[in-house]
Amino acid sequence: MCGIVGYLGKKNTKEILLNGLKELEYRGYDSAGIAVLENGNFSNFKAVGKLVNLEEKTKNYSTDGFSAGIGHTRWATHGKPTELNAHPHVGQSSYVVHNGIIENYAKLKKELINDGIKFLSQTDTEVIVHQFEKNLNSASNTFEAFSKTISELDGAYAILLVTKSQPDTIFFAKHGSPMLVGTNNESEQYFASSDTPLIGHCNEVNYFEDGDYGYVSSNNITIFDKDKNKKEPIFSKLSQNKLSAQKDGFRFFMEKEIYEQSDVISDTLMGRLDDDEIIFNELDKKIFDDINEIKLCACGTSYHSAMSASYLFERYSKIRTSLEIASEFRYRNPIMSKDTLFVVISQSGETADTLETLKMAKQAGLKTLVICNVDNSSMVRLADYCILTRAGIEKGVASTKAFATQVTIFWMLSLYIAKLKNSLSVDEISKQISLLREIPTHVKVTDDMHERIKRLSKRYLHGHGFFFIGRDIFYPLALEGALKLKEISYLHAEGYPSGEMKHGPIALADPELFTIALLPQNLLYEKSKNNVEELSARDSTICAISSKEFDKADDFIQISECKDYMLEFFEMMIVVQLLSLEISARLGNDVDMPRNLAKSVTVE
Ligand code: M6R
C-alpha cells in the first residue's frame, strides 16, 4: 500500500527520500515519485515500476542546501499505475502526496473543473492540491488554506503538502492512514508511514493520531487535533537498532523469512513458558473475567491463523469462539455483547478493515486484544491489550513468519486461558508446553526437504487448479497453503475441508486437478485418507504431505514422525510455503512483490 516520506533539512534530500521509500517498498507499490522545493523552485521526478527507475531518473539531480521534500510509493486505487497518476501531484505552486482514499473526490473535482482547473491525473489525490490552492486565494495565510482543505475532505488519508507560499514548511494531516514525524538534534524533520525510514536519522518520534493536522518547520512542530485544539507532540524514543532486512544470501526475502521461522518462533516463546503455565506479562488476567466468547477478526493470512485459533480455543480453553472476516464484519451490523473478548490479528497493525473493526468493538465497549507484529502500529496503540508476535520485519508480501508466530501465540494463549478456566489438567498443560518448546526444531528447513520440493515443483506449473485439503486445524492450513500459492504463482488454488470435497468440488477431479493433501498421523488420519482416496479414484493428481507414505498419491513429501498434531501442523506449514515459493520461482514471478498485491492494505 502507498508509502509516504518527507524531509526538511540541509542534508541530501534526494538520497533521504529515496532511501526512505526503499524502506517502505515492502508495503507494495507500482510507481513512485519525489518533489523537492529548494531556493523557491520545485524539482519533481516520477517513475512507473520499481524504485530503480526513479533512481535512474534522478541520477543527475542533487540538493545542496536547505530544502523541503516529499516522496511517495503508489499502489494504484484510482487510475492505472502511470507516471501521470504517480504522486506527488502538482498544482500551480504546490505538491502533495497522499496515502488513503478521498471518498468525496468526485464532487470536489467537478467543482474544481467548473472553476476552470485542469486535472492531469485520474487520481482522487489531485483534488487535494487544487482545493488547497483554491482556498489559498481567499485565506489570510497558508495554514488557514490547508486547514480548510483538510476539513473539506472525507475518507482516509495521510497527507504531506509543500508549497511555494511557505517554502520552509511541510504541511501534514492524518486520518485513518498511518504517519509519524521524527526529529533529531540537527533541527531536521522526517516524516514517514512507518518507523523504518526514520531509524538511524531520528532519536524521537511522534505518531500522529487520527484527526491530527498541522505544519512542521525546521525548529517547530505544530499539531492540531480533530477538534482544532492545539496539542503538543508526544515524543517517544526511536530504537537505533536497525534490523538488517537484507536477503542474507537467500534468493528472496520470502525464502529468508521461511528459514528464519525457527529463530523467530524461539523469540515468540522466549520468557513466556514456565513448566506448567504460560506467562503473558502484557495481559491482565482479569480480562477474561465475565468473558463467555472470544471473537477473532482479521484479513488474509491473519484470518487463517485466527481460524487455527478457533480450533485451539474450543478444544483446550473450552471457550466459545467465533471468527470474522474484517471487511464483512464492518458492514453487517453485528451484535456485539460485552461478554465477548474482541481479538484482532494483524501482521502490520495497519490493515484498514481490521483496524475499523477494532474501533467498532471499542465503541461498543468490548474488551479488546490485538495480536500484532508491529509495535506502535495503529492497532497496538488502540487495543486495550496487545501481544506482540516478535517475528521481526516481514518484507515478503506473502506472509510466512508472521503466520507461524501468530499460530504459536494462539497455541500459547489457548493454554493460558485453559489454566485460568481449569479446562485442562496441570499435567496436560505441562505436556503442551513441552510440545511448544519443540516447534523451533520442527520448523527448521533441511536441505533434503528443500531439494525435494524444488524438484517436485516442476510438475506443478500448469493444470486447471489446485486444491489444498485438510481436516480440523489442517483446514486453515490448507487455506493458507492455497493463498500462498495463488498470491505468488498466479495459479488458481483453493483451500477446502477434506470431507467437503465430495459435496461438489470432486466434480472437478481429473489428472489436471492437483490435490495437495495434508495427512497428519496424529489427527483424523483415517478419515482424511479416505477423502484423498476418493479423489485418487477419480484420477486427480495427488501430492500427499505426511510422515507416512501413502500409496494412492502420485507424489509424496515426507515430514518427520511427530509426537503431536500441532508439530505436524508446523512441519506441513513449511512444506506448503516452500512449495509455493518454488513454483513461483520456476514460473519466473516476482516472489517478494507479486503483482497487484500490497504488504500493508491501508485502504478498505
Ligand atoms: O497486516 P495484516 O496481517 O493485517 O494483513 C492482512 C492481509 O492483508 C495479509 O495477510 C495478506 O493476505 C498477505 N498478503 C498474505 O500473504
For atom 9 of ligand 1, the residue with the nearest CA is 300
- The residue ranges of every structural domain in the chain are 3-240, 250-443, 445-589
**DSSP assignment string, 362-413:** HHTT-EEEEEESSTT-HHHHHSSEEEE-------SSS-SHHHHHHHHHHHHH
Looking at per-residue pLDDT, the higher value among 242 and 561 belongs to 561
Residue 1: what pLDDT? 63
- Phi then psi for 493, rounded to 5 degrees? -145, 145
User: What number of other Cβ atoms are within 10 A of residue 25's Cβ?
Assistant: 17
Question: Is residue 601 lining ligand 1, measured as CB closer than 6 Å?
Answer: yes
Residue to mutate (ligand 1; options 258, 343, 351; most atoms within 8 A of CB): 351
C-alpha 575 – ligand 1 centre gap (Å):
20
88: preceding bond cis by omega (within 30 degrees): yes
pLDDT tens figures, 33-87: 999 999 999 999 999 998 999 999 999 999 888 999 999 999 777 888 899 999 9
For residue 178, is pLDDT > 50?
yes
Picking from 571, 555, 481, the residue whose alpha carbon sits closest to that of residue 520 is 571
> Ligand 1 pocket, 532 CB below 6 A?
no
Does ligand 1 come within 6 angstroms of the Cβ of 18? no
Average pLDDT over residues 7-26: 93
Q: Is the CB of 383 under 6 A from ligand 1?
A: no
Output the CA 184–ligand 1 centroid distance in Å: 33
Closest residue by Cα to atom 4, ligand 1, is: 346
Question: What is the structure's pLDDT at 493?
Answer: 96
- Closest to 359 measured CA to CA, from 210, 229, 195: 210
Question: Under a CB-based contact definition with an 8 Å cutoff, are residues 82 and 182 in contact?
Answer: no
pLDDT tens digits, 143-161: 999 999 999 999 889 999 9
pLDDT the model gives residue 464: 81
β-pair type (155-163, 94-102) = antiparallel
Query: What is the pLDDT, as a whole number, of residue 63?
Result: 87
- pLDDT above 70 as % of the chain: 98
Identify which of 254, 258, 301, 410 to mutate to test ligand 1's pocket (most ligand atoms within 8 A of the CB): 301
- Of 346, 398, 397, 399, the C-alpha closest to 374 is 346
Is residue 357 within 6 Å of ligand 1 at its C-beta?
Answer: no
352 C-alpha to ligand 1 centroid (Å): 11
Active site residue 386: no
pLDDT score at 240: 66
Superfamily of domain 3-240, CATH level 4: Aminohydrolase, N-terminal nucleophile (Ntn) domain (3.60.20.10)
Q: Is 599 a catalytic residue?
A: yes
Q: pLDDT per residue over 111-145, tens digit each?
A: 999 999 999 999 999 999 999 999 999 999 999 99
Identical topology for domains 3-240 and 250-443 = no
| Residue 194, pLDDT score | 84
Give φ, ψ of 249 to 5 degrees: 90, -10
**Annotated catalytic residue within 2, 297, 386, 543:** 2
Q: Ligand 1 centre and the CA of 535: distance in Å?
A: 31
- For all residues of the chain together, what is the average pLDDT? 93
Is the CB of 397 inside a 6 Å radius of any atom of ligand 1?
A: yes
Tell me 339's DSSP state: T
pLDDT, mean of residues 310-314: 98
- pLDDT higher for 216 or 238? 216
Band of residue 565 on the pLDDT scale cut at 50, 70, 90: very high
Place 552 in a pLDDT band, splitting at 50, 70 and 90: confident
- pLDDT higher than threshold 90 for residue 551: no
Give the model's pLDDT for residue 244: 41
> What are 246-262's pLDDT values in tens digits?
576 789 999 999 999 99
Atom of ligand 1 nearest to the CA of 400: 16
Pick the CATH number of 445-589 from 3.30.460.80, 3.40.50.10490, 3.30.465.10, 3.10.20.30: 3.40.50.10490
Say what the pTM is.
0.77
Distance 185 CA to ligand 1 centre (A): 37
C-beta 354 within 6 A of ligand 1: yes
Which of the four CATH numbers 1.10.3720.10, 3.40.980.10, 3.30.420.40, 3.40.50.10490 does domain 250-443 have? 3.40.50.10490
Answer whether residue 242 shows pLDDT above 60: no
pLDDT at residue 313 tops 90 = yes
Q: Is the CB of 394 under 6 A from ligand 1?
A: no
Whether residue 346 has its Cβ less than 6 Å from ligand 1:
yes
Q: What is the pLDDT of residue 558?
A: 96
Mean predicted confidence (pLDDT) in 207-228: 94
